[in-house]
Amino acid sequence: MIEGLLRKLQVSLDSHQCVQYTLLIGEQRIALNDLIDSSIQLTFLKSITCIHCRRTTKKSFNQGYCYPCFAKLAQCDLCIMKPELCHYNQGTCREPAWGESFCMTSHIVYLANSSGVKVGITRASQIPTRWIDQGASQALPIVRVATRYLSGVMEVLFRQVLSDRTQWKKMLKGMPDSVVLTDIRDQLWQKFQTDIEMYQETYGTQSIKFLHDESECCMIYPVQRYPEMIQSCNFDKTSIISGRLIGIKGQYLMLDTGVLNIRKFSGYHISFQ
């Protein structure tokens, strides 16, 4: 039995494009791929710690924060979810130093196929982690921008024809139909070339670069079988979650008894066996 603070699943992509998952509990690291088809049990020990300030909290906000941190940290601001609302240049960022390192850096606008084709954004340093966390089977970078704000501007542009959301239940029910993402990229360029060039004139051609020659990345997940029905497991409703591990996708453990979003319960103290 292992006890400790739960954190989001650590992910990597091996040379065969297979996703490797590691469960982090305190200082312990558990190779989850090796446990497919094994019976596991996770028990909530009725204690939650903020993943930022480490204080004890009765309730977790925004996947692991206590309320004071949720209310004051820039990383919990609305503009993280809607980068087109970034207000760093207005001088109103809650934490300018954090904004400088997080938002004023290179970002990628990408296409991903998880529950269907969607547009998304991520810091360049978070590829392919972001794609894996969303359960994408295919992904393709299409625009590189200089700041998070500009990634939001591009995403809003492409949202005219593409969704920016993953349907998590659909993603966990099986593999999506394969698509040719490079064709969709080229269609976006044809449709929005004038708009993109207008933004380049405003912000500089080096600040917004459409990527015509990037290669698609594919991800293979350790799934023995997909569940027929999606039943969500929740530590706030039951302290013991157990079952046979039949697969892992995104940040979800797929058990024969239900699915558990590990990231949602970051900061929860659990035991694992």
Q: 144 and 55 in one domain?
A: no
Q: Which helix (H) or strand (E) holds 258?
A: strand 258-261
**Is residue 263 included in any domain, yes or no?**
yes
What SS3 string covers 95-116? CHHHHHHHCCCCEEEEEEECCC
pLDDT digits over 241-253, tens only?
Answer: 999 999 999 999 9
Q: Enter the tokens of residue 159.
A: 């949202």
Domains of the chain: total = 3
- Nearest-angstrom CA–CA distance, 134 and 114: 7
Domain membership of residue 135 (yes or no) is yes
Q: Determine, yes or no, domain membership for 200.
A: yes
Do 82 and 169 lie in one domain? The reply is no
Predicted confidence at residue 163, as pLDDT, reads 96
For residue 4, name the pLDDT band (cuts at 50, 70, 90). Answer: very high
List the beta bridge partners of residue 108.
122, 144
Residue 232 lies in a domain: yes
- For residue range 7-29, what is the model confidence (pLDDT) as tens digits? 999 999 999 999 999 999 999 99
Question: Same domain, yes or no, for 150 and 245?
Answer: no
Same domain, yes or no: 113 and 93: no
Residues 178 and 257 occupy one common structural domain: no
| Structural domain ending residue among the three candidates 104, 126, 158 | 104
Q: How far from each other are the two terminal CA atoms of the chain, in whole angstroms? A: 5
Q: Are both 210 and 119 inside the same structural domain?
A: yes
Does residue 86 share a domain with residue 152? no
Write down the pTM of the prediction: 0.94
Task: Please tell me the distance from the alpha carbon of residue 173 to that of residue 258, in angstroms, as a whole number.
Answer: 12
The whole-number pLDDT of residue 118 equals 97
Asked which of 181, 197, 218 is the last residue of a domain, the reply is 218
The CB density around residue 56, as the number of other CB atoms within 10 Å, is 11
Q: Do 134 and 58 lie in a common domain?
A: no
**Do 97 and 23 share a structural domain?**
no
Q: What share of the chain is helix, strand, coil (3-state, %, to 5)?
A: 30, 35, 40
Per-residue pLDDT of 94-142, as tens digits, reads 999 999 999 999 999 999 999 999 999 999 999 999 999 999 999 999 9
Q: Is residue 231 part of a domain?
A: yes
Are 210 and 114 within one domain?
yes
Residues 110 and 145 placed together within one structural domain of the fold: yes
Which residues form the domain of 167?
106-218
Residues 212 and 145 in one domain: yes
Q: Report if residue 68 sits inside a domain.
A: no
